[in-house]
Amino acid sequence: MYQALYRKYRPKNFDTVYGQDIIVKTLKNSIIHKTFCHAYLFYGPRGTGKTTFSKIFARNINCLNPVDGSACGTCSNCLVSFSQECVDIIEIDAASNNGVDEIRDLKSKINIVPSDLLYKVYIIDEVHMLTDSSFNALLKTLEEPPEHVIFILATTDPQKIPDTIVSRCQCFSFKPIPVPTIKDCLLNICNLENIDIDDDALNYISVFSEGGMRDALGMLDKLISFCDGKITLNDFIELNGIISMEKIHNFLSSILSFDIVSTLSYISSFDSEGKNLVQIMSQLLNYSRNVVVDYYISNKNCDFDINLLLKFSSYLCEKMFEFKKSFNTRVYIEISLINFISIYCEINNSINNNIGNKNLSLKSSNAETKSESNYDNSSISVSNSEDESDEEFDFSKEFDTNSDINNDSDSVHNFININNDIESVSNTDSKILNINEIMDARINNCFVNANKNILNNEKLNFEKLKEFSFDSEIGYLVCSLLDSTVRVASDDYIIISYDLNSSVEQNCLLLHKLEEVYSKITNNFKKFIIISDSYWDKIKSDYINNLKNGYKYKIIEEPEEVFDVSDNHDIISNNAVDLFGDIVEIE
């Protein structure tokens, strides 16, 4: 009968254990000096040698003539411990024997002396699966076992083990085995088994095993069954539902060039071929990371805009968990990539937007001439009494973001109907190089005249935005605003914050569009201050301290915007005529 490689080549002594040199040295010394403990806890990722190590250690401590901390293999105890009939090394699977009755049965037999060996060793695998009652039953025995008993607990999830158990054990963390070490082991086994395999295939197995030797040997076993002759990289790719580096490069290129059609075609192709889409996105993230690292460390040329690649890598990191947990993986990946492309295509290429469904017209507005705006305010009355505008700002009252908001859905609906005169969104946005200085100045100026009544009014205005959240043209801008938390408001400014720094970066690049959409929908122009939640906590604390110390905030001049115009080409204007000829009219 064929024996799986991970069983056939399971290490029999410390010298054949891969990748856990520190633990080997420590336990060898404990055997040499006879200072080994009564209870051990081995924890770490799957396939890193915890159970194998437990068996080796159990044999070594029972050897009558250990050589440099390892079993001699020739004494009577070694012959017994290496046999299948050994009754003094007991391995218990806690996943299937996790009840309190099993632990009580163990306690009833623990006082029986070993029949052949020096020590009776209990190896409890996946110990985190024991119930609370079982842990409680084991606790006293684990603390003060008979002198002839040693416990070895092994787990992949040490967080689930009670601290009272952990504190009674000598703990060892098994690390993921390094890629070169796994590759060396695989190459050695292939030579012993006369397996012909490409070096690239060995590299891929070593990387995709994620530090687990058992997983690596399992992948090699599958490839042996799959291939009739030499094992190649294409065999590994085909068997494991991944794609080649060339396809990953092309896929990434289509995303970073904002080609939605090509990107969706790639995803459709991968799905129809039965590829693992989550695994492909993981490949994409690792490939992006490698390109960035090579660019900065090895000064290698990068085929992509490095700043855009960094933002995409950060975006993928945030989305990977959601990819894995999504109900419909393909749809979620498609929507996520379209969302990324849409945002950065708007930012980099200033694409014109027309809102046909609502016949809305968003006219260009100048942030510096806000007070001279020509919007018709007759449709809504905003009451700001002199008492409200002149009252001293009290942080403890004004920054109460949990206050109730009276939301009248009918008035919101009527307001939207009245404001159906919005036509288009200004497309003059470019990257603002001094955005941080501008935000700091706006924060200061917002604090000068911040008012709770204005804050509540702006929260009501944010409710009105929901009417436009599904609009085909400005919906992404509206949703960006709705994803934020409104913190402070004054006559001229609103402070909004986001949980993620990447969201702050994206929306700062859309600053003028967000201001324009908000002003046209609500008929109320405000300059936005876009910050992270963590930065909000800092400026809030600074404000309180400044008030306590008698500091008086004063209006300061906002710096002029400095734009990055190095990449302001418009792909629609530049390419449309080339693609469609004279039938295209560009306004």
Tens-digit pLDDT profile for residues 573-585: 445 444 455 555 5
Q: Does residue 547 share a domain with residue 463? A: yes
CA 523/CA 459 separation, integer angstroms: 14
Mean pLDDT of 35-55: 90
Q: Does residue 532 share a domain with residue 396? A: yes
Q: Does residue 339 share a domain with residue 313? A: yes
Is 469 a residue whose pLDDT tops 80? no
Q: Does residue 473 share a domain with residue 513? A: yes
Mean pLDDT of 194-205: 90
Question: What is the domain-level CATH number for residue 188?
Answer: 1.10.8.60
Mean pLDDT of 446-464: 87
In this prediction, residue 182 carries a pLDDT of 92
Is 517 a residue whose pLDDT tops 70? yes
Q: Does residue 340 share a domain with residue 272? A: yes
In this prediction, residue 367 carries a pLDDT of 38
Q: Does residue 222 share a domain with residue 139? A: no
Is 178 a residue whose pLDDT tops 50? yes
Q: Does residue 424 share a domain with residue 523? A: yes
Q: Does residue 315 share a domain with residue 222? A: no
Alpha carbon 440 to its chain centroid, in Å, reads 30
Domain extent for 186: 179-240
In this prediction, residue 354 carries a pLDDT of 36
* Residue-wise pLDDT tens digits, 306-315: 888 888 998 8
Tell me what percent of the residues of the chain surpass a pLDDT of 90. Answer: 22
pTM listed for this prediction: 0.57
Q: Does residue 47 share a domain with residue 98? A: yes
Query: Is 60 within 8 Å of 77 (Cβ atoms)?
Result: no
Residue 547: inside a domain: yes
In this prediction, residue 101 carries a pLDDT of 81
Q: Mean pLDDT in the chain? A: 79
Per-residue confidence band for 565, with pLDDT thresholds at 50, 70 and 90? low
CA 144/CA 146 separation, integer angstroms: 7
SS (H, E, C) 242-306: CCCHHHHHHHHHHHHCCCHHHHHHHHHHHHHCCCCHHHHHHHHHHHHHHHHHHHHHCCCCCCCCH
Q: Does residue 169 share a domain with residue 213? A: no
Domain boundary among 204, 221, 240: 240
Residue 258: inside a domain: yes
In this prediction, residue 429 carries a pLDDT of 52
Instruction: Give the residue ranges of DSSP H helices in 350-500.
Output: 386-390, 395-398, 409-418, 435-448, 452-465, 475-482
Question: What is the domain-level CATH number for residue 44?
Answer: 3.40.50.300
Question: 3-class SS at 553?
Answer: coil
CA 538/CA 461 separation, integer angstroms: 26
Q: Which two tokens stand for residue 285?
A: 């993230």
Per-residue confidence band for 432, with pLDDT thresholds at 50, 70 and 90? confident
In our burial notation (b when 16+ CB lie closer than 10 A, e otherwise), range 481-510 reads beebebbbbbebbbbbbbeeebbbbbbbbb
Mean pLDDT is highest, among 354-368, 539-553, 567-581, for 539-553
Q: Does residue 396 share a domain with residue 421? A: yes
Tell me what percent of the residues of the chain surpass a pLDDT of 70. Answer: 81
Residue 82: inside a domain: yes
Give the pairing type, strands 431-432 and 149-155. unpaired
User: Got the DSSP string for 4-59?
Assistant: -HHHHT---SGGG--S-HHHHHHHHHHHHTT---SEEEEE-STTSSHHHHHHHHHH
Mean pLDDT is highest, among 33-47, 337-351, 536-550, for 33-47
Number of domains in the chain: 4
CA 314/CA 317 separation, integer angstroms: 5
User: Across the chain, which distance is largest between two alpha carbons, in Å?
Assistant: 100
Q: Which of 497, 201, 26, 349 is nearest to 40 (CA)?
A: 26
In this prediction, residue 585 carries a pLDDT of 54
Q: Which of 137, 135, 87 is nearest to 112 (CA)?
A: 87
Question: 3-class SS at 550?
Answer: coil
In this prediction, residue 171 carries a pLDDT of 93
Residue appearing with tokens 């083990």: 161
Question: What is the domain-level CATH number for residue 305?
Answer: 1.20.272.10
CA 36/CA 26 separation, integer angstroms: 10
Is 136 a residue whose pLDDT tops 90? no
Is 543 a residue whose pLDDT tops 60? yes
Residue 359: inside a domain: no
Residue 26: inside a domain: yes
Residue 574: inside a domain: no
Sign of the Cα torsion 200, 202, 204, 206 reads: negative
Is 359 a residue whose pLDDT tops 50? no
* Residue-wise pLDDT tens digits, 369-402: 333 333 333 332 333 333 333 333 444 444 443 3
> ∠ at Cα 442 (536, 507), nearest 5°?
65
Q: Which of 18, 13, 23 is nearest to 73 (CA)?
A: 13
In this prediction, residue 368 carries a pLDDT of 39
In this prediction, residue 97 carries a pLDDT of 77
Q: Does residue 269 share a domain with residue 216? A: no
Q: Which amino acid is at 152?
A: I
Residue 381: inside a domain: no
Q: Which amino acid is at 351?
A: I
